[in-house]
């Protein structure tokens, strides 16, 4: 009998939900709980402790050291380039990719209202639509952030996170992804294993969703070409657009209060599509 795989994961309720989702598709697995810098340092902005990757490095290390067989992440937390020695073995079927306002719908936030979010992208997109708004940083797991919501006119969280934790009744408004473009990989679950572990790679394939993988591949190619991480106000969201084709919407802002550049394109090669959209936005920045 084949031994259950050991899945490394953060210890938050959402992270455990995601790891359990993967375990169910594998017919069972052992969860290896890992404490990360992003979870320990909730008193400072993500950009101050390393930006993108602060929620995944220790989880990846558990796999590379042999403590676990695979690592389960929110795909949006992964850097655009896979770490040396690791392989992105599965990207699970995507949940709702949208962002949500909790506390108030956008049009109901009072003039000069205060919105809390730890995401530069979320703040930039809201500021572009509502320049009067003020912003505050917000860190912590979903339960922690919801507990702080009463101190602001609204907070911004991912719809998928609320759905997965049975908290979707807290949504005041789910924001349209055609203008409020999600973070790369938002709503998807990613699973990494060691590059040379063919047996584990084969077992994890059952959790992979080809359509989601194509979409997230385009988004990650965009981010990799851009050279940015989650500290930059960037977003990308790919959707199927006919047989074998994708449409990718992307945004880039030089600063949270600066103009938001937008680009939409379609193609049949996810990697090439993401790279071309990033190159077009970079060219616009240089020309600007």
The H-or-E segment that residue 115 falls in is strand 114-116
Q: How far is CA 258 from the centre of its chain?
A: 22
Catalytic residue among 10, 121, 123, 201: 121
In the residue annotation, 145 being an active-site residue is answered as yes
Catalytic residue among 94, 98, 122, 263: 122
3-class SS of residue 196: coil
Cβ pair 13, 146 in contact under 8 A: no
Catalytic residue among 6, 94, 123, 145: 145
The H-or-E segment that residue 287 falls in is helix 270-287
Catalytic residue among 153, 230, 249, 263: 230
In the residue annotation, 76 being an active-site residue is answered as yes
Q: How far apart are the first and last CA of the chain?
A: 62
Place of tokens 């003020």: 134
Query: Packing angle between helix 210-226 and helix 270-287, nearest 10 degrees?
Result: 30
Catalytic residue among 39, 69, 77, 153: 77
The span from the CA of 6 to the CA of 250, in Å, is 36
The span from the CA of 68 to the CA of 23, in Å, is 13
In the residue annotation, 139 being an active-site residue is answered as yes
What is the maximal distance between C-alpha atoms in the chain? 63
In the residue annotation, 121 being an active-site residue is answered as yes
3-class SS of residue 69: coil
Catalytic residue among 10, 94, 123, 139: 139
Cα–Cα nearest to 8, from 27, 28, 34, 39: 34
In the residue annotation, 77 being an active-site residue is answered as yes
Catalytic residue among 6, 10, 76, 263: 76
- Catalytic positions: 76-77, 121-122, 139, 145, 230
């Amino acid at each position: 009998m084949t031994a259950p795989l050991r899945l490394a994961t953060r210890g938050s309720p959402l992270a455990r939900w995601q790891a359990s989702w993967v375990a169910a598709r594998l017919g069972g697995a052992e969860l290896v709980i890992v404490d990360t810098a992003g979870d320990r340092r909730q008193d400072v902005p993500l950009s101050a402790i390393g930006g993108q990757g602060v929620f995944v490095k220790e989880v990846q290390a558990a796999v590379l050291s042999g403590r676990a067989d695979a690592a389960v992440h929110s795909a949006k937390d992964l850097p655009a380039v896979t770490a040396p020695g690791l392989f992105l073995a599965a990207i699970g079927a995507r949940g709702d990719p949208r962002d949500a306002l909790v506390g108030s719908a956008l049009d109901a936030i009072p003039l000069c209202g205060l919105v809390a979010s730890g995401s530069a992208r979320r703040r930039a997109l809201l500021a572009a639509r509502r320049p009067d708004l003020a912003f505050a940083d917000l860190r912590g797991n979903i339960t922690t952030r919801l507990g702080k919501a009463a101190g602001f006119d609204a907070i911004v969280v991912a719809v998928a996170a609320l759905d997965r934790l049975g908290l979707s009744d807290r949504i005041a408004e789910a924001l349209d992804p055609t203008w409020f473009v999600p973070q790369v990989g938002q709503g998807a679950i990613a699973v990494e294993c060691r590059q040379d572990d063919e047996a584990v790679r084969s077992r994890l394939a059952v959790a992979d969703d080809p359509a989601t993988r194509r979409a997230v591949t385009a988004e990650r190619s965009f981010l990799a070409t851009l050279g940015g991480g989650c500290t930059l106000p960037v977003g990308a969201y790919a959707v199927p657009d006919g047989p074998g084709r994708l449409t990718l919407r992307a945004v880039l802002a030089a600063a949270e209060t600066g103009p938001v550049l937008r680009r939409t394109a379609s193609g049949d090669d996810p990697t090439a599509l993401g790279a071309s959209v990033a190159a077009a936005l970079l060219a616009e920045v240089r020309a600007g």
